[in-house]
């Protein structure tokens, strides 16, 4: 709750800054209108997919899926971890990195504990893959949705995959290899599979599962993502109004994230009107030669860990004037936020879930692991761009 309040307050401060820019003439109403046209469909998707994920979790979709994976592993720890990797990648790809961080993390912690396994390796898997696997699809990360208009082929999912698919695959594989290298001692051996969780409303569980499964292909069908996500959200709201009306409340809407995003977009528009693009070009360079692309992804990595990945993307976006440079920027801001706690909102939300579950990971250790992992993942994921 406190993190949500801080996020909303930060958004309000940013909105006040944008209002000041309007009052002083630095930012025009036309510029702000352009930002609104671009951002409103994205925020509509964020609201809808958050409602979908929250209600699916309340219905037990994630709990039952994770328990099923434990049974599928037949008591082999390594296999269970591999199945959690797959689940984290799929959840991130289709339902966004924040869903993985917020909803999947407590599920895998609970499954690990129920089966007598240390929860930290599974929790670390969710947060690292929440970030690095967010390169897979346009809906995986807010930065991807922002970049769609600059993508070749009008930003359809096929064009996105063609441009970033190899880099996404490399980012995921390198992340998995590093997770295994750091946590392998805890990921071997066998365990006794725990009994599956009790389902209080099987009709609700089945219906919610069908809605979520129907949504996944629609998110890559070429429709604007907010359209199928809104349809799925409305279907789940109707289902819960019928089966569990008390579960419906205004907290399903991510109000703090909306306020923060609105303030951030407005503030960055003011900075761009003030000439931040020239500074970004001086830092990130130009051109699509191999060293230029590595410079772009490296700059994005540093910026994301310095100020958070969303403002880093917005500030560096004017320098991404080719598809390859745009891809390098996305690699840096998506796969790079593995070092500082504030590098992505998903990491902060993930840590909040860790504290709530009484799982302890000092930030010092998280940062040290990230200092090793982030450069390796980003450099490796940039290499496929050099072969285009």
Task: Count how many domains the chain has.
Answer: 1
Q: Is residue 3 one of the residues assigned to a domain?
A: no
Q: Is residue 4 one of the residues assigned to a domain?
A: no
pLDDT, tens digit, 9 for 90 and up, residues 19-77:
887 787 777 777 777 777 878 888 888 889 889 988 998 999 988 988 899 999 999 99
Strand partners, 76: 190
Q: Is residue 1 one of the residues assigned to a domain?
A: no
In this prediction, residues 157-180 reach a mean pLDDT of 94
Output the pLDDT for position 201: 93
pLDDT, tens digit, 9 for 90 and up, residues 283-293:
777 888 999 99
Output the pLDDT for position 2: 47
Q: Is residue 80 one of the residues assigned to a domain?
A: yes
Rounded to whole angstroms, how far apart are CA atoms 77 and 70? Answer: 9
Q: Is residue 317 one of the residues assigned to a domain?
A: yes
Output the pLDDT for position 318: 87
344 in Cβ contact with 354 (< 8 Å) = no
pLDDT, tens digit, 9 for 90 and up, residues 181-211:
999 999 999 999 988 888 889 999 999 999 9
Output the pLDDT for position 261: 77
Q: State the CB neighbour count (10 A cutoff) for residue 185.
A: 9
* Residue 224 scores a pLDDT above 80: yes
State the residue range of the domain holding 222.
11-386
Q: How far is CA 188 from the centre of its chain?
A: 28
Q: Is residue 209 one of the residues assigned to a domain?
A: yes
Q: Is residue 154 one of the residues assigned to a domain?
A: yes
Rounded to whole angstroms, how far apart are CA atoms 212 and 245? Answer: 19
**What percent of the chain is predicted at pLDDT more than 70?**
95
Output the pLDDT for position 276: 58
Output the pLDDT for position 188: 93
> Can you give the pTM of this predicted structure?
0.86
CA neighbor of 384 nearest in space, from 309, 328, 322 = 328
Q: Is residue 6 one of the residues assigned to a domain?
A: no
């Amino acid at each position: 709750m406190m993190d949500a309040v801080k996020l909303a307050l930060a958004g309000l401060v940013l909105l006040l800054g944008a209002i000041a820019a309007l009052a002083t003439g630095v930012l025009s109403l036309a510029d702000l209108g352009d930002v609104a046209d671009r951002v409103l469909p994205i925020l509509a998707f964020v609201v809808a997919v958050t409602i979908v994920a929250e209600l699916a979790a309340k219905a037990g979709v994630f709990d039952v899926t994770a328990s099923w994976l434990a049974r599928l592993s037949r008591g082999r720890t390594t296999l269970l971890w591999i199945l959690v990797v797959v689940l984290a990648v799929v959840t991130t790809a289709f339902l966004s990195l924040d869903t993985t961080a917020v909803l999947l993390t407590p599920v895998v912690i609970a499954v690990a504990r129920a089966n007598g396994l240390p929860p930290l390796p599974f929790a670390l898997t969710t947060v690292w893959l929440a970030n690095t696997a967010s390169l897979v699809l346009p809906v995986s990360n807010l930065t991807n949705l922002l970049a769609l208009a600059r993508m070749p082929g009008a930003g359809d999912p096929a064009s996105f995959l063609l441009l970033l698919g190899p880099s996404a695959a490399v980012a995921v594989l390198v992340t998995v290899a590093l997770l295994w290298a750091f946590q392998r001692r805890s990921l071997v051996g066998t365990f006794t599979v725990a009994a599956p969780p009790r389902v209080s409303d099987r009709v609700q569980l089945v219906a919610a599962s069908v809605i979520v499964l129907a949504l996944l292909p629609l998110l890559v069908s070429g429709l604007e993502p907010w359209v199928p996500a809104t349809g799925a959200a409305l279907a789940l709201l109707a289902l819960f109004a019928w089966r569990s009306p008390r579960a419906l409340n205004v907290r399903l809407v991510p109000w703090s994230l909306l306020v923060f995003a609105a303030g951030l977009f407005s503030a960055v528009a003011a900075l761009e009107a003030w000439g931040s693009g020239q500074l970004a070009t001086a830092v990130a360079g130009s051109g699509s030669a191999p060293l230029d692309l590595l410079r772009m992804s490296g700059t994005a990595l540093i910026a994301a860990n310095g100020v958070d990945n969303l403002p880093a993307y917005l500030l560096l976006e004017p320098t991404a004037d080719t598809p390859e440079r745009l891809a390098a920027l996305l690699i840096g801001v998506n796969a790079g936020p593995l070092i500082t706690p504030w590098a992505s909102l998903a990491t902060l939300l993930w840590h909040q879930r860790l504290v709530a579950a009484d799982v302890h990971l000092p930030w010092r250790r998280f940062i040290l692991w990230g200092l090793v992992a982030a450069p390796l993942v980003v450099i490796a994921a940039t290499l496929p761009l050099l072969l285009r």
